[in-house]
Amino acid sequence: MTYDLFIGDRLFSSWSLRGWLMLEKFGLPYRNHMIGLYSGTMAEDMKPLAPARLVPALRLPDGTIVGESLAMAETLAERHPEAGMWPEDVAARATARWLCAEMTAGFAALRAECSMQLLHCWQGFDPSPETLVDLDRIENLWAHARTISGADSGPLFGRYSLVDVFYTPVAARIIGYGLPVSVANREYCLELLSDPSVRQWRAMGLTVTYDPFPYAFDLPSQAWPIGAQTDAQSVDSGPSINDICPYSGKAVTHFLELDGQCWGFCNQFCRDKTVADPGAWPKFLAMTDTVNHS
């Protein structure tokens, strides 16, 4: 039983990130399909999914199409109760659904003014009064969730759930635009963005370049705070220490250099996502650790 998930460009599609995390974080089997948000092919790409018209969209194993992120979340939670996608406690579960529903329907100023981008952090961004109102509301909702759950830090309801999925792109906006929130909530945002799955999503997004870059501002920027800065870079040829790709097990054809060592991969995508954030990939780290400690 495998789901088909249709997503847009990873660096910018906040709703696609939510859809992907629903499947990735809860261990549900899926195949990714890219929709061309910025290539001009979106309408054509979406035709087989009609009447769905936005990403993400989900195709169930029986062929049923599910649009809208909240409908996808409820469908997956219903089909996989063992995955624990919602909090177990009745009051916590009701509150988590409320927070997800308000995320879906609300925060228009924040979403319009601060489009999600995962490349870097803008410096000197000045949010509008309307966006500040949205931020205050988000902080109030998060405080209410913690009152219900008793969780002082970490996931809002003590254990990672769909509500953390829905607010991960909010965390990206807060960090990416340097928006004012409490110290504790900034830490929560950094925890969400430090999740290995989120790091992998961003690394895969960085394999695509954009010219011009969408949602650019005439502001200075600084490096994204998640993921160690390394000297990883692609190189044209080997030989590499390894003969097979750590992800696919296939023969290597593409290469990167890291800390003076050359490593091989089966294709450009495998190589480039590793260059973007080597520490995000357990299989790559396991390979390098085995070689360097043998």
Structure letter (DSSP) for residue 281? -
| Domain annotation covers residue 207 | no
Distance between the two ends of the chain, CA-based, in angstroms?
A: 39
Average pLDDT score, the chain: 96
CATH number at residue 13: 3.40.30.10
The residue written with tokens 């925060």 in the block is 107
> Among candidates 198, 270, 170, 194, which has minimal Cα distance to 24?
198
Look at residue 17 in the predicted model and tell me its pLDDT: 98
Regarding whether 111 and 39 lie in a shared domain, the answer is: no
Whether the Cβ atoms of residue 163 and residue 156 lie closer than 8 Å to each other: yes
Cα–chain center distance at 254:
26
150 assigned to some structural domain: yes
Residue-wise pLDDT tens digits, 193-241: 999 999 999 999 999 999 998 999 999 999 999 986 778 999 999 999 9
Q: Output the CA angle 105-110-112, nearest 5 degrees.
A: 85
- Whole-prediction pTM: 0.97
Q: Select from 50, 83, 116 the last residue of a domain.
A: 83
Three-class SS state of 133 = helix
Q: What does the alpha-carbon distance between residue 25 and residue 269 come to, in Å, rounded to a whole number?
A: 22
On whether the CB atoms of residues 46 and 35 are closer than 8 A, the answer is yes
> What local confidence, expressed as pLDDT, does residue 228 receive?
65
Task: State which of 27, 49, 83 marks the end of a domain.
Answer: 83
Q: Which strand (E) or helix (H) includes residue 66? A: strand 65-67
Q: Which domain holds residue 111?
A: 90-199
- 113 & 74 share domain: no
Residue 220 lies in a domain: no
Closest CA to 194 of 231, 225, 162, 222: 225
Total domain count, the chain:
3
Is the residue at 225 inside a domain? no
- State mean pLDDT over 149-158: 98
DSSP annotation of 252 reads: P
**Last residue of some domain: 55, 83, 111?**
83
Structure tokens at 170: 């909010």
